[in-house]
Amino acid sequence: MRSEDIFPAIHAKQIPRCPKCVAQLQAEREQQQQRRRRPGRPPKRGNAAKRPYAPRRRSGHDNRSDDSDVDDDIPQGGVMKPDITFFGEGLPDAFGRRLAGHDRDRVDLVLVIGTSLKVTPVSEIVSWLPPHVPQLCISLDPINHINFDIDLLGHCDVVVAELCRRAGWDLRHDMVPRGQAVDGPQKHPPCDCHLT
């Protein structure tokens, strides 16, 4: 599934669910409820089969709440997975083929944002690219096992917003406060070679 298909739910801060899966789970749940509700069903074995059917008595201890227990029976399935790879999953073969046969020779900038780069094979991409490609890392914590050309340490959203401001780009997003400015000490003052 394409991630664009679930953007509305994600932007609304909701878990995207597959309508077909939810409908199937609901149907299974209703079938279970129907099997449980059949009145007058006699017991199937033992001496109890000779007695007339009587409803089961409840014990004096009742753990039910005001909410229906039936609502707790449905599995929480149907979560839609976008076209991303989750932690612990292997990357598809197409990823390596695309990187080696196409992207490696065409990339002109590497931006690494908000990761520790501790999990392979993604952690190896930066060192696998040609050395002439500029590499920029934006992270709250430094990444010491890879030498980037530029490390920008701080909250990623603040650093990205400041980069956009300095580039003259109007970054509009609900999570970025209007008029946000970065004010902090500079370890290295800018030199003419970095200014455009």
State the pLDDT at residue 42.
56
Cβ neighbours for 24, distance < 8 A, ≥ 6 positions apart? none
Tokens 């201890």 correspond to what residue? 61
Which residues share a beta bridge with 110?
A: 135
Structural domain containing residue 180: 110-185
Residue 134 lies in a domain: yes
Strand order, beta sheet including 135-139 = 110-113, 135-139, 150-153
Residue 143 lies in a domain: yes
Does residue 51 have a pLDDT over 70? no
Residue 26 lies in a domain: no
State the pLDDT at residue 76.
64
For residue 138, what is the domain's CATH number?
A: 3.40.50.1220
Condensed to tens digits (0 to 9), the pLDDT of residues 111-121 reads 999 988 888 77
Band (14; pLDDT cuts 50, 70, 90): confident
Does the pTM surpass 0.75? The reply is no
Rounded to whole angstroms, the Cα distance separating 143 from 116 reads 6
How far is CA 170 from each of CA 126, 162, 180, rounded to the nearest angstrom? Answer: 29, 10, 12
Does residue 31 have a pLDDT over 70? yes
Cβ-contact 82, 1 below 8 angstroms = yes
Residue 140 lies in a domain: yes
Residue 193 lies in a domain: no
Residue 82 lies in a domain: no
> What is the tally of structural domains in the chain?
1
Tokens 């406060």 correspond to what residue? 177
Condensed to tens digits (0 to 9), the pLDDT of residues 96-148 reads 899 889 999 999 999 999 988 888 778 888 888 999 999 999 999 999 889 99
Cβ-contact 114, 140 below 8 angstroms = yes
Residue 49 lies in a domain: no
Residue 20 lies in a domain: no
Q: What angle do CA 5, 9, 10 make, to 5 degrees?
A: 95
Cβ-contact 116, 143 below 8 angstroms = yes
Band (74; pLDDT cuts 50, 70, 90): very low
State the pLDDT at residue 24.
87
Give the chain's radius of gyration (CA, Å): 29
Does residue 5 have a pLDDT over 90? no
